[in-house]
Structure 1
Amino acid sequence: MMNRSPFVTWLLITINVIVFCILAWMQQTVMFDRAADQIALLHAGANFNPFVVDGEPWRLVTSMFLHGNIFHIAMNMVALFMIGRSLEMDDGHVNFILIYFITGIAAGLASVEFNLFARSVGASGAIFGVFGYSVVREIFLRYRDRDALISLTINFVAFVALNYIVAIFFSSGPMQMILDTAGHIGGLASGALVASIVSIVRLRRFSLLLTLICVSGIVLILPKHQLNYYNVFQAVVAAEDRQNKLVGVRLTDEQYADSLRLLIGDWHDVQSALQALYFVDDDLQHDTTIVSRYAKLREDLATYQVLEIDKESYVYEDSIEIARQHLDSIPPLHYYLSFQLSKIEQPVIEQDSSSAISPTHPVIVYYDSNWRETEPYNAVYYRHGQHDDQNRWQGKVRDYYGDGRIQMKGAYMNSLDHGIFIYYSHDQKYESAGRYDRDELVGKWEYYHPNGKLHREIVYANRVFIRNVYDTAGNVQVKNGFGREISYYPNGQIEEEGEIADGWRQGLWKGYYADGQPFFEEYYRDNKLMQGKSVDRKGNRYVYDHTSFFPYPVEGVEQYKHYLRSNLRRPTLRLKEGVVRVNFTVNYDGTLKDFVISKSLCEECDKEALRLVREGPKWRPALNRGSQKVTSKTSVEVEF
């Protein structure tokens, strides 16, 4: 018996080493300490409850030939050589291989049953089993040979200690395999049990074969609660993947809304599936609660986005923002069950010099009641945002009243209004909401009464179209561009009234002061003010037309154009010909501010255009109803 060659032990060691070398070559590492390496081990056959229960029981065997790093396999192979050689030479090749696989499979089953979503690899479960078998066998057969028993026990304790030392030093990282205590105990106990059975029953090989069959059959009765939760989690991963695929894809609003509706159904199904789980492990209660809340927030977010598109209303941005904040605050999961490394590659968007965004830094700017910069102690408003190296606003901006209440949420690109803007009254009711494209109003804008009720819906496209108008109680006055608008002061007096046809103001419009006294009469043709007459509180009368609503060069348009042509300093190297457009604000007192290039030509051209406008003739501010000076925006084009 003692002269047998332990070729099965050598064969097992050889197979383990070959498998390790192949995987190490494929992953270009012997440490397997990256997420990609751990996923490769899982794909190669690591033991994992949902996969084993869901029709892949072969993982109970393949996991015995995989190892987590070079130290892991070195430790296990030394132990396998020491204990395997001795047992194989004593019990024979066939019995040894049966014992090895019985205890290895039993260890895998224990790992599957008693661990929660553990990904286990290694021959240590089978080695623990061989140790357990050998110790009990020694007790039954040679209980008087204490030296042999002590030597075997010392080797076993040393192996266990080395296992834990390696685990401590080489099991860090979110994707690393943890020490499989359940598998080790399962292997040890099964080895001891098999040795007891074999020592009592005379038919040793038959007993081992029967035990192998029985142990392997246990996989058929394993509970599936981990698999059920895993499948729900994969539905979450699939929904996330579908969501991510929408990023960077050019879709119409209708197509995007249809895609979101499908996602709403997906997230609702996830919540239903979680509620249908018949058993949830105590250690999984935290994750189940988090995933359920996450799915509900995702469903809410998609619902608000669909409503925003369907109703063409940007006030849903507030609900969208709140949902995203709640999503960002969700605590991490204990068991993240996505084994994918792929990520969505964002499309590279080429930008011209006018839209390229420079590095930014956070700033707070304070304003007086006329939105001119001032010191903090004089501030009526203040703004939080980002400035680039040219002091231009970039990205999201928030304006606040002096007491900290929100006044505006918007976004800028090179100090141009660009994106969704929502304005709020001091009592935090909506005033207006819509979208800008480089300082231009686009799409549908909503305007609100002081009580927060919707007042007007106006569409800005090729022409301005007044779509719908409502009174303070929500009653329709103008529908689809036709009707009569009448607005009222809080005291019930009429403020303004007139006809709207085909989305335009038409004919005579009248306005009144809060005490009912006449304020103005204006005549419109296709939304263009042809003539207006107003009277101020002192009885002064004014006549005006649509041009009074815009700022105007004091010396006249032609004289201003002459100034631009005669004072233009052309760049030394004029590589381009064209126009630079400068946007700026004319304050109610005629001063200018907020100079922004909305159409660029070249860097030198842009600087020269800004100089011309800054140093140019004075401007008359816009006049409301012919007499009230107001701050407004305008633009000038400088030709090169």
Structure 2
Amino acid sequence: MATCYRHSNRETGVSCSNCGRPICPDCMTATSVGMRCPVCSKQRTQVRTAATMNAEPRVTIAIIVTCVVLFLSSGGGIGLSSTSSGWIYQHFALYGPLIDAGDYWRLVTSGFLHSGIFHIGFNMYLLWILGQQLERLLGSTRFGVLYFTALLCGSFGALVQTTTSVVVGASGAVFGLMGVLAVEQWRRGYEAFGGGLGGLILINLVISFIPGFNIAFGGHIGGLIGGLLAGLAFHGADRLRQPWLGYAACAVLSILAVVGSIAVSGDLHNITV
């Protein structure tokens, strides 16, 4: 049982709806958005109308539109998976030897490409379900930073798994959003992997290891870990009331993912040669 952050001898099961810090009855202030701690209760809550709520998930929409446009432009196949040799895949898909050769942009652009209609359909469905919730909850800027941090961590994980196969897909970033959602549930006093989230992650991880599906499970694991770490970083920054620390932590995670991807690509490529 957690203890009140102001009274260490008092156990409590209630957390502030804004910062997530545990609070006892003497420290609770009832607001229209739940119980808040003494510090957060003094802050002015942003008013969100139906119009602004509907307009908020703009980053999620932009990502989905970009993925769909690139999929149609690349002539993606109709099927569970397919191989494309078009110009877009040749220049933007994730491939270890080309990362080693200096095509570092592939660490990001590969997350916007997909290999089949089922591939993009499943990823975009999950992205919409998770993205609209998290972006409205966290704000577009924070959501975008978390998404791209998870994307880079997913690319690193995929390269750890293999540098000799072409990898595409937003799966790593989507798994990262699952990790962020787990942190947000935990910080608000709910079961971190409850409400079906734990089952969703487990099922998708199991599918990742099924032979014949040609799924980069390393990207899924890397993205999930990246999302969890980035979400925890923002949680810690909010508790310290220093939001910039969360952005700084995501920048460090992203840099480490890029550096690690380059190092792994170079080492394994040299071994295969």
| Paired letter, 1:72 | H
**Does structure 1 residue 204 correspond to structure 2 residue 261?**
no
Rounded to whole Å, the distance in 2 between the matches of 1:53 and 1:123 is 22
Rounded to whole Å, the distance in 1 between the matches of 2:87 and 2:71 is 12
- Once the 2 structures are TM-superposed, how far is the Cα of residue 156 of structure 1 from its aligned partner? 3.5
**Does structure 1 residue 215 correspond to structure 2 residue 254?**
yes
The residue that corresponds to 1:193 in the other structure is 229
| Paired letter, 2:164 | F
**8 A contact 2:154–2:223 mirrored in 1:** yes
Q: 1:538-562 CA deviation, whole Å, 9 max, x = no partner?
A: xxxxxxxxxxxxxxxxxxxxxxxxx
3-state SS, counterpart of residue 47 of structure 1: coil
Q: Aligned match of 2:270 in 224, 228, 250?
A: 228
Q: 1:444-474 CA deviation, whole Å, 9 max, x = no partner?
A: xxxxxxxxxxxxxxxxxxxxxxxxxxxxxxx
Q: 1:200-236 CA deviation, whole Å, 9 max, x = no partner?
A: 1233344224423542354335142223246x4xxxx
The residue that corresponds to 2:78 in the other structure is 30
| Paired letter, 1:215 | S
| Paired letter, 1:18 | V
**Does structure 1 residue 92 correspond to structure 2 residue 139?**
yes
**Does structure 1 residue 149 correspond to structure 2 residue 194?**
yes
* Matches for 1:276-287 after TM superposition, within 5 Å: none
**8 A contact 1:9–1:81 mirrored in 2:** yes
The residue that corresponds to 2:68 in the other structure is 17
* Matches for 1:112-127 after TM superposition, within 5 Å: 112-127=159-174
- Once the 2 structures are TM-superposed, how far is the Cα of residue 64 of structure 1 from its aligned partner? 0.4
The structure in which a higher percent of residues are helix is: 2
The residue that corresponds to 1:183 in the other structure is 219
**8 A contact 1:32–1:38 mirrored in 2:** no
| Paired letter, 2:247 | L
Q: 1:341-397 CA deviation, whole Å, 9 max, x = no partner?
A: xxxxxxxxxxxxxxxxxxxxxxxxxxxxxxxxxxxxxxxxxxxxxxxxxxxxxxxxx
The residue that corresponds to 2:19 in the other structure is none
Residues 55, 15 of structure 1: alpha-carbon distance in 2 compared, 3 angstrom cutoff: same
| Paired letter, 1:180 | A
Residues 158, 225 of structure 1: alpha-carbon distance in 2 compared, 3 angstrom cutoff: closer
3-state SS, counterpart of residue 194 of structure 2: helix
Stretch of structure 1 that moved more, 206-215 or 133-142: 206-215
* Matches for 1:155-554 after TM superposition, within 5 Å: 155-157=200-202, 159-160=204-205, 164=208, 171=213, 178-202=214-238, 203-220=242-259, 222-223=263-264, 224-229=266-271, 232=273
Rounded to whole Å, the distance in 1 between the matches of 2:253 and 2:199 is 32
Q: 1:489-536 CA deviation, whole Å, 9 max, x = no partner?
A: xxxxxxxxxxxxxxxxxxxxxxxxxxxxxxxxxxxxxxxxxxxxxxxx
* Matches for 1:6-85 after TM superposition, within 5 Å: 6-24=57-75, 29-31=77-79, 37-38=84-85, 42-85=89-132
**8 A contact 1:139–1:149 mirrored in 2:** no
**8 A contact 1:61–1:104 mirrored in 2:** yes
| Paired letter, 2:78 | V
Rounded to whole Å, the distance in 1 between the matches of 2:121 and 2:81 is 16
**8 A contact 1:54–1:227 mirrored in 2:** no
**8 A contact 1:101–1:212 mirrored in 2:** no
* Matches for 1:552-591 after TM superposition, within 5 Å: none
3-state SS, counterpart of residue 195 of structure 2: helix
Residues 95, 50 of structure 1: alpha-carbon distance in 2 compared, 3 angstrom cutoff: same
Q: TM-score, normalised by structure 1?
A: 0.31
**8 A contact 1:46–1:121 mirrored in 2:** yes
Rounded to whole Å, the distance in 1 between the matches of 2:199 and 2:80 is 30
| Paired letter, 1:23 | S
The residue that corresponds to 2:24 in the other structure is none
Rounded to whole Å, the distance in 2 between the matches of 1:118 and 1:140 is 38
Q: 1:13-72 CA deviation, whole Å, 9 max, x = no partner?
A: 111101101001xx7x4349666x256564141111221132111111000000110000
Rounded to whole Å, the distance in 2 between the matches of 1:148 and 1:92 is 22
The structure in which a higher percent of residues are strand is: 1
Residues 21, 130 of structure 1: alpha-carbon distance in 2 compared, 3 angstrom cutoff: same
Rounded to whole Å, the distance in 2 between the matches of 1:150 and 1:55 is 43
List alignment gaps of at least 5 residues for structure 1: 172-177, 233-640
- Once the 2 structures are TM-superposed, how far is the Cα of residue 139 of structure 1 from its aligned partner? 0.9
Q: 1:160-200 CA deviation, whole Å, 9 max, x = no partner?
A: 46x549x767x4xxxxxx21111111111111111222111
| Paired letter, 2:228 | A
The residue that corresponds to 1:353 in the other structure is none
Rounded to whole Å, the distance in 2 between the matches of 1:148 and 1:63 is 28
- Once the 2 structures are TM-superposed, how far is the Cα of residue 118 of structure 1 from its aligned partner? 2.7
Q: 1:550-587 CA deviation, whole Å, 9 max, x = no partner?
A: xxxxxxxxxxxxxxxxxxxxxxxxxxxxxxxxxxxxxx
Rounded to whole Å, the distance in 1 between the matches of 2:205 and 2:162 is 19
Percent of aligned positions with the same letter in both sequences? 25
| Paired letter, 1:226 | L
**Does structure 1 residue 107 correspond to structure 2 residue 154?**
yes
**8 A contact 1:95–1:205 mirrored in 2:** no
Rounded to whole Å, the distance in 1 between the matches of 2:68 and 2:253 is 29
**Does structure 1 residue 140 correspond to structure 2 residue 187?**
yes
**8 A contact 2:173–2:223 mirrored in 1:** yes
Q: 1:264-289 CA deviation, whole Å, 9 max, x = no partner?
A: xxxxxxxxxxxxxxxxxxxxxxxxxx
Residues 34, 92 of structure 1: alpha-carbon distance in 2 compared, 3 angstrom cutoff: closer
Rounded to whole Å, the distance in 1 between the matches of 2:125 and 2:198 is 16
Residues 124, 205 of structure 1: alpha-carbon distance in 2 compared, 3 angstrom cutoff: farther
Rounded to whole Å, the distance in 1 between the matches of 2:229 and 2:59 is 23
Rounded to whole Å, the distance in 1 between the matches of 2:128 and 2:258 is 29
Rounded to whole Å, the distance in 1 between the matches of 2:118 and 2:82 is 16
